[in-house]
Amino acid sequence: MEFFQQLSARDYEQIIAFNNNATGLRGFLAFHDTTLGPALGGVRIWRYATDADALNDALRLSRGMTYKASLAGLPCGGAKTVVMLHDGMRREEAFAGLGCMIESFAGRYFCARDVGITDADLAAIATTTRYVAKEPSPELGEISEHTAIGVWQGMRACLAFAGISGKIRVAIQGVGSVGHVLARIVKREAGSVKGIEGVELLLADVDESRAAAVARELGAKVIPPDEILSVNCDVLAPCALGGVISPESAARIKARIVCGSANNILTGPDAADAIAKRNIIYAPDYLVNAGGLIRGAEYFLLGIADSHPSLMKIHERTQHVLNLSLERGVSPAIIADELAEARLVRPKRFNNLTWHASRLPSPEPQNQH
């Protein structure tokens, strides 16, 4: 497909390729849509096999952010930055340079943590831009915790919709910043759900020591990463990288519910169809994993001190999507897309900036070398 045909097919607004030989910084920033307001989206660093892989990741993730914001009723759009990890990169200087580029957009884009980003990376970005969500922050809170709370609210809705009762088995793929918190919440809260009498946690992670540590903490069982998708369970929660469920892998799933925090869990519409044909309940990822975005948008755009009431609404939104899916006999993925797209029909404005000024600090002084 030609480049502009690819952009037009999903109505992408702007794609920026960036490069700096001195620091080794290179990657892509994809603005998908700012119809509803300034774009929010994380920065991801990954060792991509090709430039095309990095670009496609930015495109997929930025579109997901737009739909996530729209479905949550937020006054913002979606963007995503992917940085290409390689051995010649001077990491601190590279991320400071990325911050300069983000600052140049004057509030059109606000970034946060995504896969591979460390506290040191965020600190380096913050030396040159105000438009970055640093963690932890007493006022902002932990973004990963807000995300996990939202996923749990979606999971609760799925359990009720499926009529599951008794002791449940929940398999979590990936126990990093969000998956770990989600495991804690499920362990603590499962028994408070009507009809649920406790939970058995099954955990998998490519980092074996991390999986073992979380399992010891929560009394869980560790499952090999290559077996987690096919384990017998009530809920499968993908909380690592996206694209884990394809039509082929869907055939192996034994869970009754798929509900997790990973972005772009499905490889495409054919994977959604494959799940639906097997009567597996699917909670669209950008519906249930919106908690972190909700917190960032409410804090920086609206000046709201506590986002927990908004996180609770993920439960009712998930119920609504599942009920419509049942009524119309189509996948929840189709319903969620339609609801998100309904708010995006007016022309793009490219300058819809409404930051809550009191939330924006000046860039921090950069270390002198």
Catalytic residues: 80
Q: Give Cβ neighbours of residue 169 (< 8 Å, ≥ 6 apart).
A: 199, 200, 202, 232, 233, 234, 235
Q: How far apart are CA 289 and CA 242, in angstroms?
A: 12
Q: How far apart are CA 90 and CA 24, in angstroms?
A: 6
* Cβ atoms of 37 and 345 closer than 8 Å: no
Q: Give which of 303, 346, 365, 360 is closest to 111, Cα–Cα.
A: 360
Dihedrals phi, psi of 262, to nearest 5 degrees:
-65, 145
* Cβ atoms of 7 and 62 closer than 8 Å: no
Q: Give Cβ neighbours of residue 257 (< 8 Å, ≥ 6 apart).
A: 155, 158, 159, 162, 164, 234, 235, 236, 280, 281, 282, 283
φ/ψ region of 49 (left if φ > 0, alpha if ψ in -120 to 50, else beta) reads alpha
Q: How far apart are CA 65 and CA 12, in angstroms?
A: 12
Give rounded-to-5 percent helix, strand, coil for the chain.
45, 20, 35
Q: How far apart are CA 26 and CA 214, in angstroms?
A: 34
* Cβ atoms of 204 and 223 closer than 8 Å: yes
φ/ψ region of 124 (left if φ > 0, alpha if ψ in -120 to 50, else beta) reads alpha
Q: Give which of 364, 360, 346 is closest to 301, Cα–Cα.
A: 360
Q: Give which of 70, 67, 77, 15 is closest to 40, Cα–Cα.
A: 77
Q: How far apart are CA 64 and CA 212, in angstroms?
A: 31
Q: Give which of 289, 82, 295 is closest to 181, Cα–Cα.
A: 289
